[in-house]
Amino acid sequence: METLNLFNSSFIYSLIEALSQKIASKIEAFLNNFIAREMEPKDFMRPDEVCAWLGMTIPTLNNVVKKGTIKKYQLEGSKGIYYHVPEIKKAILSNPIS
């Protein structure tokens, strides 16, 4: 009867390599999915997020709201002011800078 030597160094190295590749591919897929979700704009953003996204200041954002170009919202159960991202995108497309 032949016995299998599990302590053979080449077997251990090939096992480690195979496991490393599997783990690395799973981690890479998880990170890619996580990054993709985090980079997608949310439906609603806080004023500081909108300003960072559009490269403007809070006073400029307030002027845009005063002009009626976009609206600010207070979401139920929240204390802060939020802006609706699809509304901002629509405003940008319908009000080109001239």
Structural domain spans, the chain:
7-40, 44-94
Q: What is the mean pLDDT of the chain?
A: 82
Could you read off the pLDDT of 25-69 as tens digits, one per residue?
888 877 767 665 555 557 899 999 999 999 999 999 999 999 999
What angle (nearest 5°) sits at the alpha carbon of residue 39, between those of residues 34 and 45?
A: 120
For residue 98, the model assigns a pLDDT of 43
**Average pLDDT for 10-36:** 79
Q: Residues 85, 44: contact at Cβ < 8 Å?
A: yes
Q: How many angstroms separate the first and last alpha carbons of the chain?
A: 86
- The residue that leads in pLDDT, 83 or 6, is 83
